[in-house]
Structure 1
Amino acid sequence: MKILLVYPKYPDTFWSFKYALKFISKKASFPPLGLLTVASLLPEEWEKKLIDMNVSALTEKYLEWADYVLISAMVVQKRSAIEVIRRCKKLGIKVVAGGPLFTMGYEEFEGVDHFVLNEAESTLPPFLDDLKNGCGRHIYTSKEWPDIRETPYPQWDLIDMKKYASMCIQYSRGCPFNCEFCDIIVLNGHKPRTKSKDQVLGELEVLYAQGWRGGVFFVDDNFIGNKKRLKTEILPTLIDWMKQKRYPFS
């Protein structure tokens, strides 16, 4: 099976940092952490390629290579996501869609063969089982909040790190607050779920081993959602690790 993971393009706004990034010779601020993690959840024997459209062009050559195109996007990427789906349908390529954009409004999108919504750790395994048995459903959803201590490390070898201003990791999901402008509690729940300190260190070690030296951004919904664990476990562990490695990350 050949899987092409596609991260749609951000529109050119202040927050895309398109012109600022040119001064530091980078193409994008952060890599698509969600898709890199999804890649690790897919069967190891599958062939995988990833195109971040903010970094590289999505050419016909890549689309024609794939058996399935797997798209993940946020709301701001909606227009680009629709165009990717249109191109896939024109070429007769099956489309799987997930992530915040589709979870919050999958009804708006035509041409998607399978919606794998909510958090991939819960909905991707049943989709893969059905796909193997030739009976894939149109929509996969879940009301469960998966234990992210069991989430695999992102598959960093699918990207060129040098094209990004910073790498990123996730320590927690969910937020205990109720801000009226925010959809995080709908997507990831009220109760913060955290990874273990060993898992966080493991992810940093992988980035270090890949040769990354630079910024590492925590993409958490609310990094201080669990203050006690953060103060007693994570921050002291991060401080010690950074000292031992002579401060490779900023």
Structure 2
Amino acid sequence: MRVLLVNPGSEVNPRFNTYAVFPNGLLFLAAVLERAGHEVKVYDNVVDRRKPVDFKDFDPQLIGYSVLTGPDITQAILQSKEFKALYPEARIVWGNVHPSCTPEQTMAEEYIDYVIVGAGETALLQLIDYIEKGSTQPAAIAGLVYRENGQLKMNERASELKNLDELPDPAWHLIDVPKYWQVSLNTSRGCPFRCTFCYNSAFHSGYRGDFSAERIVAQVEHLQQRYGVKFIRFFEDNFTFNRKRLHRFCELVIEKKIKLKWDCEARADLSEKDVDLMARAGCVSVGIGVETGSKRLLEFLKKDIDLDVMQKSFWNIVRHRIMPRIYIMEAVPTETLADYQATRDLLHKMGDTPYFYMRFVPYPGTPIYYYCIEKGLIKPPEKLADWPHFSFNLATRGNLSEVPTEVVTEAFAEYARTYGPRRVRFMWRYNKRFFLSMVKNPLQFFGAVKELIKNTLPVMFNKNTSEAPEIKVEDIRTKKLAETQSEARK
């Protein structure tokens, strides 16, 4: 069968295209389908400027979409309708997180023929077998959502593949590798922890499987030999969870003397031994989901981690000249001014590290999503097309917390205003090697120099200087009290 696999991309912000990463899920699907003898093309709309009409010669018989909650949905809807009009005999299949969490609402759209819930490798093969030969009936395909005599049918979720070594390598040959900002690998699926805001909690399936360290190294070597890759981002929820695998991977890179720089996402519980091995194996940056500096809020979010452990892990990373990438989440349900200030205090204890600021958005299927509905904090979108607007509004203007909206708004303004200076100053203080290494990348280096001259030199050597006025909890309380008293006098 001729299969077209599509990453819809987003028209919300064209700058996202600059930071495109491999559509790894689609590349795994493509490899599995090719191994079974099917003809496959990958259409990544993030970097590929073709339109649905440009696939006339290929004439796809099945078009599979990978759809995340957010602006991707708008493009996926528009493209699916256009594909259906151009290729009326083709079957449209949606998969990935959003349709997996909202299968009934997704299937309410008549142009979508099927939804696959969860991992799609086996289900998609069986679905194609049914369409081509009729030998596998829809009711027998785990994870499939379909229509039968006008009625919606939902099969049980498919069991996950534990040993990812059984999968072929991603079909990298189907994409134009140089167009991507970063080469990325996905070496594991899921996460064993139970954070209530994470999409993994919607599936209740924990850590679902991984590649062995030996297989990861083999993929790295192939990418280096075929594409001259020098930097890889391990683009997954928690690359470091399986410590035995992490250590073996690092040891193999060191033993084989592989010249590689890499980046990953990790839980903030890395030991001195972990970080030492990672640094010696070429790790240059680690992303950590700190979320908040409030112990109470960490417990509410079920992060299952101690603040002291996070700080110790953070400084382990910094001491080994690895650049930390901290994620902070604001406007979380039940968050108070005290919680807000606790986060600021934690960032200060972390050397005023640069951080990525995100307003809280409840994703469908997660425990905190249902909490928000129960408490009347949100009204879920009634139609598939409403989800991008819902998510975008919360991500840019939403506030489901008890923190005054003006404080949340100022927090984002502070983040936008100070991220560059924070990053340059932090590198200069704690990781001059990382800062100076940017000379090898002229665009990156001159961008950093411009940032340094414009924003940072006046404050770099003054440890007591802050780039933005500190928002004090007591100041806000005093302001609110004055406003209340003023209203009472009226």
Instruction: Sort the TM-score into its range (normalised by shorter chain).
Output: 0.7 to 0.9
Aligned residues: 238
What is the CA–CA distance in structure 2 between the aligned matches of 1:104 and 1:215, rounded to whole Å?
33
Contact map agreement 2:217 2:249 (CA 8 A) in 1:
no
Find out whether 1:46 has 2:51 as its counterpart: no
Residue by residue over 1:104-143, the C-alpha shift from the partner in whole angstroms, topping out at 9 and shown as x without a partner, is: 1122231212222211234233323323323663266524
Residue by residue over 1:79-99, the C-alpha shift from the partner in whole angstroms, topping out at 9 and shown as x without a partner, is: 111112111222213212211
Contact map agreement 1:6 1:70 (CA 8 A) in 2:
yes
What is the CA–CA distance in structure 2 between the aligned matches of 1:17 and 1:223, rounded to whole Å?
27
Find out whether 1:73 has 2:70 as its counterpart: no
Query: Residue in 1 aligned with 2:215?
Result: 199
TM-score of the pair, normalised by structure 2? 0.45
Which SS does the other structure have where 1:71 is aligned?
strand
Query: Residue in 1 aligned with 2:255?
Result: 240
Residues 1:181 and 1:198: Cα distance change in structure 2 (over 3 Å): same
Query: Residue in 1 aligned with 2:85?
Result: 90
Larger CA Rg, structure 1 vs 2? 2
Query: Residue in 2 aligned with 1:153?
Result: 169
Contact map agreement 1:36 1:156 (CA 8 A) in 2:
yes
Query: Residue in 1 aligned with 2:205?
Result: 189
Contact map agreement 1:73 1:81 (CA 8 A) in 2:
yes
Query: Residue in 1 aligned with 2:4?
Result: 4
CA RMSD, 1 decimal: 2.5
User: Where in structure 2 are the equivalents of 1:202-217 lying within 5 Å?
Assistant: 202-217=218-233
Deviation at 1:40, TM superposition (A): 0.8
**Matching residue within 178, 187, 191 for 1:171:** 187
Aligned amino acid, residue 44 of structure 2: D
Contact map agreement 1:116 1:127 (CA 8 A) in 2:
no
What is the CA–CA distance in structure 2 between the aligned matches of 1:136 and 1:71, rounded to whole Å?
22
What is the CA–CA distance in structure 2 between the aligned matches of 1:98 and 1:182, rounded to whole Å?
18
Aligned amino acid, residue 191 of structure 2: C
Give the stretch that moved more between structures: 123-132 or 69-78: 123-132
| Unaligned stretches of 5+ residues in structure 2 | 139-145, 147-153, 264-490
Find out whether 1:104 has 2:101 as its counterpart: yes
Find out whether 1:220 has 2:236 as its counterpart: yes
What is the CA–CA distance in structure 2 between the aligned matches of 1:227 and 1:4, rounded to whole Å?
37
Which SS does the other structure have where 1:230 is aligned?
helix
Which SS does the other structure have where 2:207 is aligned?
coil
Deviation at 1:17, TM superposition (A): 4.1
Query: Residue in 1 aligned with 2:131?
Result: 131
What is the CA–CA distance in structure 2 between the aligned matches of 1:117 and 1:206, rounded to whole Å?
31
Residue by residue over 1:163-196, the C-alpha shift from the partner in whole angstroms, topping out at 9 and shown as x without a partner, is: 0011111222121211111112334722352211
Aligned amino acid, residue 205 of structure 2: G
Residue by residue over 1:213-241, the C-alpha shift from the partner in whole angstroms, topping out at 9 and shown as x without a partner, is: 2431112211122223322x122223334
Residues 1:161 and 1:75: Cα distance change in structure 2 (over 3 Å): same
What is the CA–CA distance in structure 2 between the aligned matches of 1:30 and 1:183, rounded to whole Å?
20
Q: Which has the higher helix share?
A: 2
